[in-house]
A = this chain, B = another copy of it.
Amino acid sequence: MTNRVINFYAGPAGLPLPALERAKEELLDFAGSGMSVMEISHRAKEYDAVHEEALALVRELMGLPANYKVLLLQGGAHLAFGMIPLNLLRGGRKADYILTGNWAEKAYKEAKLVGGENVRVGASTKDEKYARLPKAGEYKIGTDSSFVHFTSNNTVEGTQFKAFPKTDKPYICDMSSDIMWRPFDVSNFGIIYAGAQKNLGPSGVTLVIIRDDVLEMCEAQDLPSYLRFKLHAEKNSLYNTPPCFGIYILRNVLAYNKSIGGLKAIEANNLKKGELLYGCIDKHAGFFKPFVTEKADRSMMNVDFFLPTEALTDTFVKEAKKNNMVGLKGYRDVGGIRASTYNAVTVDNVKTLVSFMEEFVKKNG
């Protein structure tokens, strides 16, 4: 038996064991081909079947309408931060960026490099260390804005949009850290993008979902080819050699997600996990202090909380590790504890953490 730990890393993060076991089983001989999936030409029928299945599973699990294209690219959210303004903020188009954390700020700064004055702040809670999301009255979206960019889940700060910002402009959304955490209506989204390494698969694959009318706005014939969304869409993400093995693992993860009941079942698990973990934090409010100030904004993917002292925080991380749980140290700018509870973290995993927390309070509270 393999000794597996409980993985609370913020990304790259744990993947469903059956998806990995499937990969292990056929690592030297994929589908009777006599090759690893990473040794097969991306133009060969064996890889093509994987590629098409991965794209179809994204479409099926998210319930994407026919007017959306699904792309599987490289470079992570970071490259997408640049590709979005390079493709869309042309001809004087303007966009409003909602600043809700470390990653939202990065997206904004990258867009500013390309769009300059045309990239504006549509709302920000920076003054409150991003410990909550903007409230309804705090948005200032220009009537001349073509897009509103936001980050659906803030990995560092542990906030998450349950309801999306109210605006009649198309959303461009970085969903890297909560894509497919639940079913939702995509129709207001112009672009959804996500690095795979939290909820979808290994690092090195970027999922980009783009609505046809927004794709048509990408006039970028003067950009280097790799940076053009439209070209990737026309070539079905096979313009150049895709990250075949990463896409294969993503396929395995999504096939597993489908097998356990799709996003509805995953949402139920995620809500249960949040209830258990935040329940424990709230129960011991004198000991555990959440970073996020508004309960409604709490993330079901990244749970940030503090212990009474830094010494206790260190002890918590070390003791957890002895109890087979890794990745709990908070992000450097926030400190404390961060438990990342992406889709692959099970309800039982969270129960184990909560039991550990209860014990920890008993001993140290």
Which residues of A line the B interface, CB within 8 A?
A: 2-5, 7, 9-15, 17, 20-21, 23-24, 27-29, 32-36, 38-42, 44, 47, 74-79, 81-83, 85-86, 110, 113-114, 195, 197, 201-205, 222-227, 239-246, 249, 324, 326-327
Which residue of the partner chain, among B21, B35, B40, B114, contacts A4 with CB atoms under 8 Å?
B35
Do B3 and A15 have beta carbons less than 8 Å apart? no
6 residue pairs A–B, Cβ–Cβ below 8 Å? A11-B241, A13-B39, A76-B226, A82-B223, A204-B245, A245-B249
A27 in contact with B24 given A12-B42, A203-B243 (CB within 8 Å)? yes
Do A224 and B74 have beta carbons less than 8 Å apart? no
Do A204 and B79 have beta carbons less than 8 Å apart? no
| New contact pairs (14) apart from A9-B41, A15-B36, A82-B225, CB-CB < 8 Å | A4-B34, A5-B33, A7-B35, A7-B39, A20-B27, A33-B326, A38-B249, A41-B327, A42-B203, A74-B204, A81-B226, A204-B204, A204-B243, A245-B249
Copies of this protein, total:
2
Q: Which residue of B lies closest to A202 (CB)?
A: B38
Dominant SS at the A interface? loop
Which residue of the partner chain, among B14, B81, B205, contacts A35 with CB atoms under 8 Å?
B14
Q: Please, how many angstroms separate the alpha-carbon atoms of A31 and B287 in the complex?
A: 35
